[in-house]
Every structure is written in C-alpha cells, then in structure tokens.
Amino acid sequence: QVQLVESGGGVVQPGRSLRLSCAASGFTFSFYAMHWVRQVPGKGLEWVAFISSDGSRKSYADSVKGRFTISRDNSKHTLYLQMNSLRGDDTTIYYCARDLGVPGTPLDLWGLGTLVTVSS
Amino acid sequence: QSVLTQPPSASGTPGQRVAISCSGSSSNIGSNSVNWYQQLPGTAPKLLIYSNNHRPSGVPDRFSGSKSGTSASLAISGLQSEDEADYYCAGWDDSLNGVIFGGGTKLTVL
C-alpha cells in the first residue's frame, strides 16, 4: 500500500527540540523529493521544507530557517524533520508529502499528519 | 497573509458550476505551474489538479484548472454535496525558493 506515516509529534516545552519521522511504503522512496507542510487546525497550509531525492538539495520557509533541519535516510525509506528552538507558533499538524516530480512541485501523496504542541 | 490570494468562501447549489480564483505574481504563478488541493473536513489535503490543468488518476473530470498570466482558476461543474471542502491553490515561488499556498477557499454546497 502506497502511504506515508508520520510520527514523533507530541507536547514539548518552548525552546526544546523534537524530531518528526515520516515512514514511506509502497513506492521507491529514493526516487522522490519530499516536503514537510504544516497546518494549524482550522487554518491554512504552510510549506515548511523540501529535500531532493538524494538529499543534496534542501530549502526552508523563512519561518523555520535556522531552527529546523530536513533530512532523509533512503535505506530506511524515512524522512525526518529536526525541530529545534521550538516556539508557540510552531504548534500545528505536520504533514509529510511526496513531490510528484513534475514542474510546479505538486505534492501527490500526503500522510495523515502528526500534531506538535509547544506549551509550557 | 498568503502570497497567493483566494476568496475565503464560495458556494453553489447541486448541479451548478463554481469557480475559485487564485491570484499571484510573476515570481510564482507567472513563471511556474499551479496546483490545486482539496481538503475534506478532518483529512489530509489531496492533490486535485497539477501543472495548471492536469488531473491525477481518480479525480473526476468535473474538476478542471486553468491559468492565465499571474492568475489561475479551479472550476467545478455538476457540483455535488461531497465537493464541500477547503480548496487551496499552490505552486513554487522563485523569489522565496519554496512552495507557497493560497489562503484557502471554503466551498459550501447549499
């Protein structure tokens, strides 16, 4: 079954760190670029980060640049998001998404999301 | 405030045709393809239209997309109750070097 499953969310204090994982199955993970996208429940979508299929290229939203790091382990079919110096406005649902690989960066497969709550 | 501008809401009756607009700039829609996502309540987004006007497998042909200059539009014909959802336009922005989303349009089927 082609799917993405996020994990690692939870409650964390401001200033602390958290690492999210996204396990891919049912497709050749190493062929695809991947993204993290987040969404405050009931609000709009916000792109967080991108990583190329081989991990050599990365890009971040200004809101997380310098605090978040995207990475991947193709041998484990897993995408990661290391989140440091967490703030209250990082409290959202985090989705991992697969890049279809055509111009325009369409995201054709999404996980169900994992909720991160930053609170003291 | 989103880089891509969408109306916050739209509505129609069953069987009607509705259109949702998405306005951007030369660094995004003007130079890159537009994608549309549908998000049903309580679920993850789903790719609805990619590369301006292409439908992924399984998406009904009632959904169509178009682009002109720095604007794009999603049209839904033969509106059905199950189309009630949030719709987002999105694409790559060359200036921001990242993906941008519109603020979303909540479609209500009356």
Reported as a single tens digit per residue, the pLDDT across B25-74 is 999 999 999 999 999 999 999 999 999 999 999 999 999 999 999 999 99
| B12-24 residue pLDDT tens | 999 999 999 999 9
pLDDT profile of chain A (120 residues), mean per 10 = 97 97 98 97 94 96 97 98 97 96 90 97
Give the closest-approach CA distance of A74 to chain B in angstroms: 22
- Measured in degrees and rounded to the nearest 5, phi and psi for residue A83 equal -115, 115
For residue A10, the model assigns a pLDDT of 97
Q: Give contacts of A95 with chain B, Cβ < 8 Å.
A: 44-45
Radius of gyration, alpha carbons of chain B: 13
- Measured in degrees and rounded to the nearest 5, phi and psi for residue B36 equal -125, 140
In 3D space, the residue among B104, B93, B99, B97 whose CA is nearest the CA of residue B6 turns out to be B104
The residue of chain B nearest to residue A46, with distances taken between CA atoms, is B101
For residue A102, the model assigns a pLDDT of 84
A108–B98 CB contact, under 8 Å: no
- Option in B32, B51, B103 nearest A44 (CB): B103
The Cβ of residue A90 has, within 10 Å, a number of other Cβ atoms equal to: 21
- Option in B32, B56, B97 nearest A104 (CB): B32
- Residue A55 CB-density burial (10 A; 0-12 exposed, 13-18 middle, 19+ buried): middle
- DSSP code, position B40: -
B98–A37 CB contact, under 8 Å: no
A59–B97 CB contact, under 8 Å: yes
* Residue B1, pLDDT above cutoff 80: no
For residue A103, the model assigns a pLDDT of 80
Cβ B32 vs Cβ A103: under 8 Å? yes
Q: Give contacts of A102 with chain B, Cβ < 8 Å.
A: 33, 50-51
